[in-house]
Amino acid sequence: MASQTFHHTRCNSFPLPSRPNPFISQIDEHLNRFRASDATSTSSSSISHKLNGFKDLYDCVDKLLQLPSSQQALAQEQHKECVNELLDGTLRLLELCSTAKDVVLQTKEISNELQSVLRRRKSGEIELVSEVRKYITSRKVVKKTIHKALGNLKAIQRKHVFSPSEDHETKAIVSILREVEEVTSSMFEHLLSLISRPEPGSLSLVSKLWHHKKVACEDAGREVNEFEKVDAALKFFAGQKNSKSENIMSVEMKNLLKDLELFIQDLEDGLECLFRCMIKARVSLLNILTP
């Protein structure tokens, strides 16, 4: 699964210039904050804050790439292969972001269907357990998609291309952009793993969920996120066959699904905004190769 900390892998071959570009310094500050942050937090407010932070990071990246000095440095023929490598990296990150957006949307759609069933349900009118099983099946598809994306991510073996140039500013730009790629990749790995975590299935956990207490997995020492709460509760109640259990679920699940809806909305908004910023930065980088 995802690593729990953002990696710091600055290449010593790419030192910062004696008078650092201000945008390089700002980007480095953003990266340091991400590395120092608690990557294990699963709350919607924390994730929303992280996504907003990455938006600000990519705003700085775009400003760096818009500088005439940056464009002139990267446009040199000897740096073309490096820039192409960076472009490939931005494409991989956009694919990860698209996967995250897609799986969040899929979960949102089936969650909305289940909420709709609960709102209009009358005794004996709808087989609620059947709808729950439909949700569980959909989540399995989502998790397979995520596992495939994470597998592809781990299979990528980066082979950095080093320019023979002695231009320290160019080296600093390439170095910081590679760091941005690595930290962003780690963030998406963590986020996708969070969405696909196996649901804890104990009866005691489900019981605690009904009382809206903060629940931590004893073996991992972490807070259970909204995806896990709903997955655990629905898996448990999918096996219940009496009307009393269904009635309890129809009342309590509304609260859990509402929390999940809010969590998903935070993810959707943050991912969409970040996606646009990443595209903008990629276009700026692409324009350097094709002026």
Domain boundaries, the chain: 22-157+167-196+267-289
Per-residue pLDDT, averaged over 48-70, amounts to 93
Residue 59: pLDDT above 50? yes
Per-residue pLDDT, averaged over 145-155, amounts to 81
| Better-predicted residue by pLDDT, 178 or 163 | 178
Q: Which structure tokens are listed for 131?
A: 């709808």
pTM: 0.80
Residue 6: pLDDT above 50? no
* Least confident residue range of 7-21, 87-101, 142-156, 255-269: 7-21
Q: Give 163's pLDDT tier (boundaries 50, 70, 90).
A: low
Per-residue pLDDT, averaged over 248-272, amounts to 86
Q: Write down the pLDDT at residue 133.
A: 80
Residue 2: pLDDT above 50? no
Per-residue pLDDT, averaged over 28-41, amounts to 79
Q: Is 223 helix (H, G, I), strand (E, B) or coil?
A: strand
166-189: buried (b, 16+ CB within 10 Å) or exposed (e) per residue?
eeebbbbbbbbbbbbbbbbbbbbb
**Cα gap 266→63, rounded to integer Å:** 26
Task: Tell me the per-residue pLDDT of 273-283, one tens digit each, with 9 for 90 and over.
Answer: 999 999 999 99
Residue 213: pLDDT above 90? no
